[in-house]
Homo-oligomer: A and B are copies of this chain.
Amino acid sequence: MDNINIKKLAKELNLSTSTVSRAFRGNSDINKETKERILHLANELNYEPNHYASNLRERKSRTIAVIVPEIANNFFSQAINGIERVAREKGYHILIYLTYDDYEKEVSFINNLNNGRVDGIIMSVSGEANDHNYLNKLRKKKIPLVFFDRVYEDIATAKVTTNDYESSFLATKHLIKGGCKRIAYLVVNKKMSIGKMRMQGYADALTKYEIPYEEDLVVDCSNEHDANYETIGNIIKKVKPDGIFASVERLAISTYYVCQDLGVKIPEDIKIISFSSLEIAPLLNPSLSTITQPALDMGTKAAKLLFKAIESGSDLTVNNVVVLNAEIIKRRSTGR
């Protein structure tokens, strides 16, 4: 009696496996008493249907995959939280994959997922990619895909984003209105569509308010604090901006450390605003002005879109771009 299964259960009860199986499915015809007898013994013997056998038989996994660049990150962990709530409600399981912004990893995850392992995928893309053909394979296998926040423009599928262009424009405008004349734009990956959108908002705001765009003020950073610390330190020392727009939370953090160590005063010497999902932005020294995306909602929304597709078996290829609003919250770091 090591591994209990439907057969042993059936034998124990002098029933057929079909009848036992029926006891665990919602709809089927089955006598109430038999059903209770079965469930009772099952509980006693600690029997649970084997998911892999069911999945194989039903060609359905009741599992989704969530692919994100990283998890130790306020934005993504909040988004996953949102996804989880919806998935749990639907009785789905969640597989997590982290790309660390590595294109190869992303490709390999996707390829690995295209054979029935999951019923759908929610992804925030790594962004280093050029060839996105591996994603088209999913379509052939009818596995729905939803992008959130970081998307590939050239792939037609559901997308949940925020109004990156507009909020960047407004954030830049806010700095300008605060008196900034030389605003640095910090970005992790210029080539990423999200980086581009945000940068365009920045650039257009400069134009609109007749501030010259300076190549030197657009700073390509990385994901590592130490390198960023140095890069940003150099910019502040040499290029001397009076405002900083961080397109990503971690760059604002590095900037804070740099300013702290250099004795540069925020907001007196330099003003800072950043895309950020940091819940304690008000507690920083000084409190940080943020463009805050509705991370949890984005996760929820992405999950809902995915399940709509899963449940209807329909395609996600068109008219499925949801754009939520990010909120600009002005605090001390921009002089408020």
Q: Is the CB of B117 within 8 A of A51?
A: yes
A116 lies within 8 A of chain B by Cβ:
yes
Q: Is the CB of B70 within 8 A of A72?
A: no
Residues of B within 8 Å of A98, CB to CB, are 81, 84, 88
CA distance A278 to B279 in the complex (A): 11
Which parts of A233-283 form the interface with B (CB within 8 Å)?
253, 256-257, 260, 278-280, 282-283
Interface size on A, residues (CB 8 A): 53
Question: Is A48 a contact partner of B111 (Cβ separation < 8 A)?
Answer: yes
Question: Smallest distance from the beta carbon of A152 to chain B beta carbons, Å?
Answer: 19
CB proximity to B under 8 Å, residues A57-80: 61, 63, 70-74, 77-78, 80
Q: Is A320 an interface residue, CB under 8 A from the partner?
A: no
Report chain B residues within 8 Å CB of A84.
71, 96, 98
Residue of B nearest to A93 (CB): B95
Which residues from 164 to 209 on chain A have a C-beta closer than 8 Å to any C-beta of chain B? none
Chain A 104-132, CB within 8 Å of chain B: the 1/0 string? Answer: 00000001101111000000000000000
Asked if A112 contacts B81 (CB within 8 A), the reply is no
A137:B46 contact, CB within 8 angstroms:
yes
Alpha-carbon separation in the docked complex, A111 to B43 (Å): 10
Which chain B residues lie closer than 8 Å to A55 at the CB level? 52
Taken together as a complex, chains A and B put the C-alpha atoms of A283 and B288 apart, in Å, by 11
Nearest B residue to A79 via CB reads B72
